[in-house]
Structure 1
Amino acid sequence: MTADQVVLTGIVGRGHHGVYAFERDQGQDFVVDVACTMDLGVAARSDDLADTIDYSALATAVVADIERDPVNLIEKLADRIARTCLRNPRITAATVTVHKPQAPMPVRVGDVAVTLTRSTAP
């Protein structure tokens, strides 16, 4: 398995995810980082966009995942985004971090986030 990755950080979308009614009603910004594992050797040699993934299309797909139907947990949202990444046949694994910077917390915290990795391996 290759260790090559395409990484996008700080993708922002507005979603209505959460377990509380006010989160669903008001919505909030979610920030997502994705690291897609794939063989970049062909693209490195060819210097052709057709041999890699289109970063713009990937970022747009991530925002669409954030902004579509609400879920209770950011774990579920991270899984949704990882599965979107894996639809590209070049990507063999995706590590996704979903940040929920305005998460309702009883104490002051800088960030709440979950990170998960999914792969095409059985």
Structure 2
Amino acid sequence: MGVIKVTNIRAHAHHGCLDEESIIGSEYRVDITLRTDLKKASISDNLIDTVDYVHINHIVKEEMNIPSKLLEHVANRIIDRVFLELTTVDKIKVSVSKINPPIGGDVEMVTVVLSSKRS
């Protein structure tokens, strides 16, 4: 087994419960950690034998472009897509962070973290 991390995928998206958030949008950060078998790829040196980081980034960008009220919903959609499209992934942890959230204080970001394993 092995771990692949894709860190600080940045996106401008329109998530949130406030009307302004759906109109103006905000900056977001997504971090993904997935567990998969990397033994074959470590020997073959062939992209087909691992999880393609480009594919992970593509899933995140597409799901971030679909407006949601809650970051939890976005994170869950990303997890569902990864399990659907990347069949070798056994476990995943997704963190979705809203940068400078409109919560009436000086807060760098809020983050929702969801983890799941293939059933």
User: Which range, TM-score by smaller chain?
Assistant: over 0.9
| Partner of residue 98, structure 1 | 96
Identity of aligned residues (%): 29
How far apart in 2 are the matches of 1:107 and 1:27?
Answer: 18
Aligned residues: 118
Q: What displacement does 1:94 show? A: 1.0
What is the TM-score of this pair, normalised by structure 2? 0.94
| Partner of residue 110, structure 2 | 112
Q: What displacement does 1:47 show? A: 0.9
Q: Is the aligned partner of 1:26 residue 2:24?
A: yes
| Partner of residue 74, structure 2 | 77
Over the aligned positions, Cα root-mean-square deviation in angstroms equals 1.0
| Partner of residue 38, structure 2 | 40
How far apart in 2 are the matches of 1:111 and 1:29?
Answer: 10
Q: Is the 2:11–2:27 contact (alpha carbons within 8 Å) kept by the matching residues of 1? A: yes
Q: After the TM superposition, list the runs of 4 or more consecutive aligned residues in structure 1 that deviate by more than 4 angstroms.
A: none
How far apart in 1 are the matches of 2:79 and 2:11?
Answer: 16
Q: For structure 2, which runs of at least 5 residues remain unmatched after alignment?
A: none
Q: For structure 1, which runs of at least 5 residues remain unmatched after alignment?
A: none
